[in-house]
Every structure is written in structure tokens, then in C-alpha cells.
Amino acid sequence: MPVPDPCVVVILGASGDLTSRKLLPALYEQHAAGTLPAATRVLGVSRRPKPDEAWRDELREAVRGHVRDFDDARWATLAPRISYLAGDAARPEEWTRIAARIEELAPGAACGNVLFFLAVAPELYEPIIAGIGATSLVPRDRRVTCGDDRRAWRRIVVEKPFGVDAPSARRLNQRLASVFDEADIYRIDHYLGKESVQGLLALRFANGIFEPLWSERFVDHVQITAAESLGVEDRVAFYDQTGAVRDMIQSHLLQVLAFVAMEPPSVFAADRIRAERRNILESIEPPDAADLPRAAALGQYGPGGDRPGYAETPGVAPGSTTETFAAMRIRFDNWRWAGTPFYLRTGKRLAAKRTEVLVQFKPPPTNLFRRLGREVAGRMVGADRLLIEIAPASEVRLRFLGRAPGSTFSLRELEMDADFGGRGGGAEPEAYGPLLLDAMRGDQSLFKDREEVEAAWSAVEPLIGPASEVLRRGIRDNYPPGGWGPAASEAILARDGRRWSSGPSSSPSV
């Protein structure tokens, strides 16, 4: 794998939660592992005035609390490479100072490579992009050279949510394209940096035993769940404008779905992988207005214990119909998955924190053991399944039937499991770390292209557009905390003769 290029990492919105909880811990972990190029510099830009040393002290404590093995000596070698600049990056007049500071740091960062990271509220993306474009940092011909005629690069990482719907995503794509080449735009989804999500690629395409079974012929259905036991907590202002569909399904869950459902790329290369992810998302058939109540469900958690329901949470708009739970059935218009439904589900204040993919295989075409007794025949149903757990563990489990010991012939469930991280391999590194290194080396395999983003918005349009009003009637307090969401979610699968893998019954059926 190519070595990452050193650069100046410019974090715009440096005083925010994302920087202290994710970005700096990720950079520290890569520095501690020896994978962060030594000449790399970090410049934080935010409106609050503070000296460099004060910001470094804040970051030290934040990083200490968010990494597994913090070492003061290692931090001491990283801290001098971190700087802070007070400035409002959304104001064009500030960019003269910001650009000057970047250029001061750039000579020590290998030919002036610059990686911008938008760690700000989405409404600030466009003015910041315009500010960058108004400077000499990204020339009109997009060519930056060093004294020895080497090319330098200017790249930008854009956080989710990338727009609020398909039209706004297209507008943001156009704004980015007016300043950066597509090859220099990195639309990030940190889920793609998780070991277990990337492990899906290896599981599918490095093993001959799975791919022949990976189609509508042998797979009955697929479930993708991202459940959280916490509520909205301190994200009320963001969440009430966003909701579960925009926050989780359009981004994280559809990205996981793409890895599960995509066709094999002809070669392991960024453009081929992204093309196949884009193709599978474009083949989604969103439910129409008439089918929507049967194919989707939205919910808001109610009060429980000493905690208020979502609607009573301070900061939530009166009468808000923002969903804290969403589920939908997806069907594809393609040869591989025609007739095989994919079920997506996400929510807050559910029974457990869990992110998983369940591939439910079809039973044998005939039950060879049907004359051996009711119990054996009954246990044939829905036995074979592959469970890929993304969080809190990172492992894969294959369940199947085998003969139970004893004097009579009967069946029992058996399970084989493997740890994606390796037994005793320690905590998984912060997902942003590998993604930042990929951006430094110019590898877009785990980043989304513009068509992929727009296709994902089109897939969820029925759940966020005018047609969703039918799902939002009576949404308030329609599921209790500690369960698995509203009854309408169970009904989506029940109509098809199936059950969720976690819920009132823990054994999915077909």
C-alpha cells in the first residue's frame, strides 16, 4: 500500500466535538503506530480565540479520554506539530489570514500538500468552500507545483450529512466542483473505516464458498440493524433538524448495504469499487406512495424511567415529527437480487447497542427429515444464516443445523464464529484514522462519489419527502424505551412471513 503523503491537515471547526472525540484521537493513534508521516502538520481553525498551547492542553485531555493506550511521551512528540488559528472560516475576508498561516506550515509538510477537513455544521460548507476558492490555495488550473517541479495536492474531506435531500446534495456537489477536481473531493462516512465493514469485502470476494450463494437463488432476505441504547443526548439541535433517516439510513446503513449487495469489482481499485457501490444504490426501487405504509415505519421514543420522551426533551420543537427510529424494506431491480428483500432498521433508546448484518439463507428445497418428527421438521425453518456483527464486537458467525448426539436422530443448531480483529487483537482503532491516511495517499476506495451520494438520497426520498406524512401521523411516543421500536416495524417483516433477528423473537423465520 502506498505511503501517505505528508501534508497540512486543516481542521475547520476545530473547537467542536468531532475534533476532540474523533479526529485528534485518530491522528494520535496513527502517530503512535508510526503511520502518520512525520512532516504532517495539523492546523485547527475555529472562532474562539485561544493560544496554541491552551488548545494543545485541551486536546491532550480529550485524546487521553478517547484512546485505549495514551502515552505522554508519544503525545509530546505530536503536540509541537499542532497549531491553532482563531478565525471564522465562513467569512471570505478571513481567508487571507487562514491561507497565510497554511502556507507558513506547508513548506515543512512535503511540497505544500493541504488536506481540508470540514468539521463544521453542514450549513457552513458552501461559504467555506467559496472562501477556499477565493484564495490562491487552489489555483484555477488546479495545478500547484513545488520548486523541483513536483505536483502538490489540495484535497477536501466533507462530513455527513452531505445535503438534506437529492437537490441540496447536487447543489453542494456543484459548489465543490467549482473549486476542486472530483479526484480531490473525499465524501467521508466513518462507518467505512471500521474493520468489520471493510471485512465484508474480504469475506465476500476472497472466499469461493460465499459468492456462489450470494444471490436471490439462495438468500431469502438480508437484515441490517444499527441500534443505539442512548437517546439523542446533547445532539438535540442537530437531531431535530435531521432525524434517523438522514443521520443513519441515507449514509451508514446504505453504505453497509452497498458492500453486502454490490457486484464483484473486476479488480481491487478505488474507481471499480465505487462504481459497483454506485450501481447497486442506483438499482434500488424506492417504495411508492401507495406501498409506503407497508414498506416503512417511523417512530419517536416515549418517556421511560426518569427520562423524558423525545417530544419532551428540552430543545425539541413543539409538535416535532422528527423520527428517532426508522425501518424500511428495500427491493432491487437487478439480476442478482430480484425478489430478495433487504430490511434496514435504526433507532435510539432501543434494547441494546448493536450494529449487524444478517444474511438469512433459504431452507433446502425439500425437508429430507420431515418423517422423523415434528421437532426436526420445525427446526429446519430459517436455520442457516450468516451474522456479521459490526458493533460492539467485530465478528462473523455462521449458524447451521447438525445432528444432536444421542440414540435417536434429531437436529441441533451449531455455530462457527470468527473475530474480524483477531483473538486478543485489542480495541479497534478509531475509524477516522485509516480514512484520513487514505485521503493523504489519494485512495478514494472508502469514500463516496457524487453519483453515489445522490443515489442514496433518491433511495430514501419517500421517507423524508411529502409521502412520509402518512408515516408521521401519530409518531409521538409510539415506542417505549428499551424495546425494539414501534409495532409498525415488526409488521413490515410479518407481512412477508419473517421476523427481525432481534426483537420479540430472537430467531428469524422465513
Per DSSP bridges, beta strands 154-158 and 151-152 are: unpaired
Q: How many helices (H) and strands (E) does the chain have?
A: 18, 17
Distance CA 154, CA 457 (A): 27
Of the residues 31, 190, 221, 252, only one is catalytic, namely 252
Closest-CA residue to 448 (of 159, 203, 117, 153): 159
Q: State yes or no: is 252 an active-site residue.
A: yes
CA distance 325 to 387: 22
Q: How many CA atoms lie within 13 A of 291 on its CB side?
A: 10
Q: Is the peptide bond before 161 cis (omega within 30 degrees of 0)?
A: yes
360: phi then psi, degrees, rounded to nearest 5: -95, 115
DSSP line for 233-251? GGGHHHHTTTHHIIIIIII
Widest CA span in the chain: 84
Pull the grid cell for residue 506.
Answer: 430472537
H/E stretch holding 457: helix 450-464
Q: 112, 99, 119, 85: which is closest to 13 by C-alpha?
A: 119
Say if residue 392 is preceded by a cis peptide, omega within 30 of 0.
yes
Contact 223, 385 (CB under 8 A): no
Question: Rounded CA gap, 25 and 39, in Å?
Answer: 18
Q: Which residue has the cell 456483527?
A: 389
E-strand ranges in 290-410 read: 296-299, 325-332, 342-347, 354-361, 385-391, 395-403
Asked if 286 contacts 459 with a C-beta cutoff of 8 angstroms, the reply is yes
Helix (H) or strand (E) holding 3, with range, is none
How many CB atoms are located within 10 Å of the residue 272 CB? 14
49: cell is 480565540
Q: Which residues are catalytic?
A: 252
